[in-house]
Chain A
Amino acid sequence: MSEQLYLCVHAAEFPAQALLRLRPEMQSQPVAVLEGRAPLEAICALNRHAERRGVVCGMTRLEAEAIAGLRLLPRSTESEAAARAVVRECAAYYSPRIEAASYGTACSYVLDIAGTGRLFGPPERLAERLRAALATAGFRVSIAVSANFHTARLKAANSRGVTVIPEGEEAAQLGKLPLAALALAPDQAETFAVWGIRTLGELAALPETDLITRLGQHASMWRALARGEQAHTFQPIEPEFALEEFCEFETPVEEMESLLFVGARMIDCLVARAASRALSLASLTLQMKLAEGRTHSGTIRPALASADRKFLLKLLQLEFAAHPPQAAVHSFNLSAEAGQSSTVQLGLFTPQTPEPSRLDVTIARLKAITGEDRVGSPVLEDSNRPGSFRMGQFVVSTNASTAKTDGPQMALRRMRPPVPVSVVMQGDRPRKFRDAERSFEITAAYGPWRTSGCWWSTDGWDADEWDVLATTRQETSIACLLMLDHARNAWQLVAFYD
């Protein structure tokens, strides 16, 4: 008994399948894919519904448009590349040794499944599981299993469903296949037609020597293929693990709901592919081609790598809300970085903190309400400029603070921007000041506290600060910080003590 065992997975009409897998609403409609330059476009792939309407490959756009209800989509090589990667990912779950066997518009991969019986059971079960996995990913495939590489490939390309060919029955299984399965040149196919040879079984029955005498050494290979005896040296590919999905729209899309619909499907696929390697998604990068040649991009980076579809979709929705594309979208590319699934060890006595994934959504929502740069943790800058800080990213940290408290200190309530005031001076000290609404009588003024810096640059400052106690006419007393800006020679109400 041979130790070799091959499984071929074949997705016919792949350009159509690649486009339709992200558009479930079109899967029940007749759809054909056009390729070529206008006006010489011709159909290169179609789905079963279109086939039932009489559509065939090679039809021109004009002929196809005459068929009522037929949806025509342009061929997208990017979508096909992304779809091929998905098929490869699914196949790689069952065997690390995969050889590409695609030809024409079909997508075929042959897996070396020798020795996988103890992992996945008999070949029938493995084939059914792979077919179900690909169906979940949106592909209709046919699968054939054989001890001979080419037998598996030919059978998968010319049959439906799952076929397992027992060893020694290759010739019998291939016998009924049409001669076109060998992809012969037209003149060679014509020669066989003249001889009355129409199936592989009839070709296999011809005497080898006579065949070679008439058609050359190639005929020996065809005969061996037809008998299921052609040897093959397996050349496994080394697929790069890249999480990427691409969708090109038939017409430019403006509505966010439509983009989210496609985005949800993409996230589902990415999560499933990452999960098959026990990984999660650490970040999502979206790139869009917009009308008028513009592009739009963005990155979603959750605090912890996640495989939660709903959570990632919510982040995508909030990203669209915060940064909507400025024009209609032609194509949508979503790529992801894989990360280790997050595990958080909680302690019985550690303080309760926000759940990271929920906090991401909350902060994204807060940013949608107040603005992108308005939410975060304040970070003091290493500067003597009064009130200088920047907004940093808020990250939950359960480490206890090392800050020391020396009792309560006076806090300031800043006016942003500072309020211009007019000040009446008595000698060199302020006596009264007035803003746009009220006037204040100063009861005590402490200062001036001179501060200046960055005089060598355009954003330098030079000011006198006064701590002021004042009362209004309504006998309300306040304590505030007045500043005389020397650069502009203007008084400002900077902050209140509170």
Chain B
Amino acid sequence: MSLAMTSSSALRIQIEHALERRFPSALTPVPRTIRETATTGIAAVDALLDGGLPVGAISEVVGQKSSGRTSLALSFLAHRTLEGQVAAWVDAGDAFDPESAAANGVSLRQLLWVRCRSASAAAKSRPWTRLDQAIRSTDLLLQAGGFAAIVLDIGDTAPEHASRIPLATWFRFRQAADRARCCLVVLGERAYAQSSAALVVECVPRQGMTAGETVLTGFSFEVRRERQRQLSNVQGIRKPPASMWSATCRWAQEERA
């Protein structure tokens, strides 16, 4: 047995040596890098995603309106800013609500908000669409570096328009996010980044929670993991692909306090 192993390893070394010029380390497996993750602040989602959203990569949070994707993104930003990091929200639809962000614990002082505006309201010399402005702004922020998280919110952009973002753009974003160690979170109705996204999670609304059928107190959501690169071999495919979580309304929190 040991003789067989010795001869196989010798053979491997011999083959690698022969192919060294064309394929360095042809038969040696590439060492797996463990990607750093950042917590979303929601235990159920963190458990589903092996710790949270990947750092230095693109994560797509997709879903219809009222699917909880914005709450998930805000919860993630709250934990990033809680660590003293700075973040940016690139708002293609100008839909960001600062009150909701503050209620989720986001430090607004550490948040750069870029509000894109309609082409008719933009400068006549640069009549870019909201989506164009959002893409250019994200590009600038990624190139500037230093932002721990950037949320590209194209949740209100029609999928037929957002699907036209070139793959080269997403590839550039991936490279820049990797260099800047920045979590780029894309909020959209569908997944657009394709192979450039390290993680795609789909949010689905489940049901509203009420108090005495008169007051809306919260919602429950389901999160499905559509794609995740570099899954750990140990926990692997046995993990459930979906998880439930809930978000409460502000007044429900105040009542509890």
Question: Do these two chains really belong together in a complex?
Answer: yes
* Interface set of A (CB-CB < 8 Å, partner B): 350-355, 358-359, 361-363, 365-366, 368-371, 374-380, 387, 389, 391, 394-416, 444, 446, 467, 469, 476-480, 495-498
Known: A396-B86, A476-B64. A377 touches B108 (CB 8 A): yes
A413→B157 CA distance, assembly (Å): 13
A166 to B112, CA, bound (A): 67
Q: Is B216 an interface residue (CB 8 A)?
A: yes
Q: Can you list 22 A-B contacts (CB < 8 A)?
A: A354-B144, A354-B145, A355-B146, A361-B144, A366-B137, A371-B117, A371-B121, A374-B114, A374-B116, A375-B115, A378-B101, A395-B109, A400-B84, A401-B105, A401-B107, A403-B106, A407-B248, A408-B41, A412-B97, A414-B96, A467-B216, A498-B67
Contact of B146 among A359, A363, A401, A410 (CB under 8 A): A359
Contact A391 B133 (CB under 8 A): no
* A353-B146, A370-B114 known; A409+B253 contact, CB < 8 A: yes
Bound: A47/B69 CA distance, A: 71
Query: Which one of B75-83, B170-178, B232-240 is at the interface?
Result: B75-83
Tier of interface size on chain B: 35 or more
Known contacts A352-B85, A400-B82; decide if A378 and B64 are in contact (CB<8 Å). no
Q: Give per-residue flags for B117-146: 1 if the beta carbon is below 8 A from chain A beta carbons, else 0.
A: 100011100101000010011001101111
- In the complex, what's the smallest C-beta–C-beta distance from B26 to chain A, in angstroms? 37
**Chain A hits for B112, CB < 8 A:** 363, 375-377, 394
Tell me how far the C-beta of B69 lies from the nearest C-beta in chain A, rounded to whole angstroms. 6
| A-B residue pair count with CB separations less than 8 angstroms | 222
A377 and B109 contacting across the interface, CB-CB below 8 Å: yes
Contact of A371 with B122 in the complex, beta carbons under 8 Å: yes
Contact between B85 and A409 (Cβ–Cβ < 8 Å)? no
List the one stretch of B12-20, B28-36, B190-198, B207-215 in contact with chain A.
Answer: B207-215
B68 interface hit (Cβ, 8 Å): yes
B41 to chain A, nearest CB (A): 6
Known A370-B133, A406-B105, A408-B74; further 20 A-B contacts with Cβ < 8 A:
A351-B83, A353-B86, A362-B144, A369-B136, A370-B117, A374-B116, A380-B98, A380-B102, A387-B99, A394-B112, A395-B109, A400-B83, A400-B84, A410-B219, A411-B74, A413-B93, A414-B96, A415-B95, A444-B216, A496-B65
B165 lies within 8 A of chain A by Cβ: no
Contact yes or no, B79 A375, CB < 8 A = no
Give bound CA distance, A497 to B146, whole Å.
31
Partner of A387, one of B41, B72, B97: B97
Contact B78 A405 (CB under 8 A): yes
- Cα–Cα distance between A358 and B101 once the two chains are bound (Å): 26
Given A358-B144, A401-B81: A410 and B110 interface contact (C-beta under 8 Å): no
Report B118 CB to chain A, min CB distance, Å: 10
- Is B48 interfacial (CB 8 A cutoff)? no
Interface residues of B in 183-208 (CB under 8 A from A): 205, 208
